[in-house]
Amino acid sequence: MGAEFGMVLAFLFAVGVMATQFVGLAFTAAKVDHASQEAAYVAGSSLEAASDRTPCWAVSGGLNQPAAYSDAAVCKTVLENLGNINPSDLTMSVTPSLGDRTNHTPIHVKLSYHQPISSPLLRLFMGDTFTTTADASSWTE
């Protein structure tokens, strides 16, 4: 009777760890989606002048130091809305580029986040990495 109870308890623990990480992945997806929506809004309403500087999202590590690049307001907005998500695992693109934006132009912000899965049981079903992608759009003013 004790061995069966131990096996059931181990299985319930593994399912609990899997469920906890699965809920965490859902929250991560919601954060990435919200960050892309906010970034699209800021990109559409930003008064930043077009420059020949590289956008912060196009440079490795640019999200961590957006002030040194163009589209800094967009990258700052992404960072503010991601919370505790590691920005080095995030890829971002904004189209059209800052120099090509005109009045009443649709702007698309696409975020893609790659998070490693630590639960062995969840890894069986989802693979080694969970990728969530969000694409939001806004119009320039």
Segment 103-125, tens digit of pLDDT: 778 888 999 999 888 888 788 88
Tell me what pLDDT residue 119 has: 80
Tell me what pLDDT residue 73 has: 85
Is the confidence at residue 50, as pLDDT, over 60?
Answer: no
On whether the CB atoms of residues 69 and 98 are closer than 8 A, the answer is no
Where does residue 128 rank: exposed (0-12), middle (13-18), buried (19+ CB within 10 A)? exposed
Comparing 25-29, 62-66, 78-82, which segment has the lowest mean pLDDT?
62-66
Give the pLDDT mean for 71-94. 87
On whether the CB atoms of residues 134 and 38 are closer than 8 A, the answer is no
Four-point Cα dihedral 26, 32, 38, 40, nearest 10: -130
Alpha-carbon span 122 to 87, nearest angstrom: 23
Is the confidence at residue 32, as pLDDT, over 90?
Answer: yes
Q: Which two tokens stand for residue 46?
A: 């930003």
Which has the higher per-residue pLDDT, 74 or 34? 34
Is the confidence at residue 130, as pLDDT, over 70?
Answer: yes
Q: How would residue 33 be classed by pLDDT, with cut points 50, 70 and 90?
A: very high
Domain residue ranges of the chain, discontinuous segments joined by +: 2-139
Share of the chain above pLDDT 90, in %: 21
Four-point Cα dihedral 119, 131, 98, 137, nearest 10: -110
Alpha-carbon span 20 to 30, nearest angstrom: 16
